[in-house]
Chains A and B, each alone.
Chain A
Amino acid sequence: MNTLTLWFHKFGSPPIFHRLAGLLMPWLYGLAVLGGLLAMYGGLFVAPADYQQSDAYRIIFVHVPCAWMSLFAYVFMAVNAFIALVWRIKISEVLAMASAPIGAIFTAITLATGSIWGKPMWGTWWTWDARLTSELVLLFLFLGVIGLYNAIEDRRQAARAAGFLALVGIVNVPIVHFSVSWWNTLHQGSTVRLLGPSRIDSSMLWPLLLMALAAHLWFFASVLARARSSTLELEAGKDWAREIAMKTGAGHE
């Protein structure tokens, strides 16, 4: 076995994963909250008002990081689903299914805050344009994966079926991303670009990027929190699961 496979088997082993996740989670949650609060302060109070949108543009500081996270969560879910389907790695199944609910939450926040932003700027809560519709499809894909996973009794079979749906749905990810350049839409184009200069002042950029970083940390904390329950459930017959369950007092973790 090469190093990567060895590494995968070591950290992919459920008891080690469970323990590592438990150690990492408080740090991820803590840093996410710290970064998120700082970014909110920067976005709400430090960054100046926009010359066109006045203070309404401040919705960007929650809307855009959540939109990025909705795509990131989907890609993370699909990659893990792929690994789970091809190499049958238990932890990948667990991670793929754990990222669906948090992805759905970020997508829902994106749609809700986008709608709230649309009302004063476009004069409508909702319009069936390419960006909005494809993001709504993304929400339905997440809900479909969650629904399918919960509809099948056997957890591993359920994860495989839902993982397959997640893989098929990945075609929607580039559609969401490029919708603003492929179609003429009401939604504005990208503000922050990886290639080329961003079309935003640095006083507005740092809270946005910090919030994005915090959202990523939150995502991983949340995925690990869900995955810990799943590993215990999947391995209920094993000694390590028994040990942890019997050691844990009522109401503690």
Chain B
Amino acid sequence: MNEIFAMGGYGAYVWSSFAIFVFALLIDYVAPRLRYRKTIAHLQGRYRRQKNRQEKAP
């Protein structure tokens, strides 16, 4: 097990590279999801305001 972590003495380099890769793609997964939610919420607010305005109009 220790051998796997050591990677022939290059463990820090190898594992940090893989960690950066995974972490960066994790951000890439979360970012569009948050944006989609924000878009939906924004549109819902906009449509609700439109509806209210139409109902108030004589």
List A residues at the B interface (Cβ < 8 Å): 29, 40, 44-45, 49, 54-56, 58-59, 62-63, 66, 101-102, 105, 108-109, 112-113, 116-117, 119-120, 218, 222, 225-226, 228-229, 232-233, 236, 241-242, 244-246, 248, 250-251, 253
- The interface size bin for chain B is 20 to 34
Is residue B53 contacting chain A, with contact meaning CB distance below 8 A?
A: no
Q: Known: A105-B27, A218-B25. Contact between A62 and B36, CB under 8 A? A: no
Q: Are B24 and A109 neighbours in the complex by a CB distance under 8 Å?
A: yes
List A contacts of B57 (CB < 8 A): none
Q: How far is the CB of A6 from chain B (nearest CB, A)?
A: 29
Would you list 11 pairs from A and B whose C-beta atoms are within 8 A, ordered by A residue? A54-B10, A56-B13, A58-B14, A105-B28, A109-B24, A117-B13, A218-B25, A225-B36, A232-B39, A232-B40, A253-B37
Q: Are A233 and B13 neighbours in the complex by a CB distance under 8 Å?
A: no
CA of A115 to CA of B37 in the docked complex: distance in angstroms? 36
Q: Are B43 and A55 neighbours in the complex by a CB distance under 8 Å?
A: no
Q: Are A55 and B24 neighbours in the complex by a CB distance under 8 Å?
A: no
Is residue B16 contacting chain A, with contact meaning CB distance below 8 A?
A: yes
List B contacts of A236 (CB < 8 A): 43, 46
List B residues at the A interface (Cβ < 8 Å): 4, 7-11, 13-14, 16-18, 20-21, 24-25, 27-29, 31-33, 35-37, 39-41, 43-44, 46-47
Q: How far is the CB of B54 from chain A (nearest CB, A)?
A: 13
Q: How far is the CB of B11 from chain A (nearest CB, A)?
A: 8
CA of A242 to CA of B47 in the docked complex: distance in angstroms? 7
Q: How far is the CB of B36 from chain A (nearest CB, A)?
A: 5
Q: Known: A49-B8, A225-B36, A245-B40. Contact between A102 and B28, CB under 8 A? A: yes
Nearest residue (CB) in A for B33 is: A225
* CB contact between B21 and one of A109, A225, A232 (< 8 Å): that residue: A109
CA of A245 to CA of B33 in the docked complex: distance in angstroms? 15
Nearest residue (CB) in B for A242 is: B47
Q: Are B17 and A62 neighbours in the complex by a CB distance under 8 Å?
A: yes
Q: Are B44 and A101 neighbours in the complex by a CB distance under 8 Å?
A: no
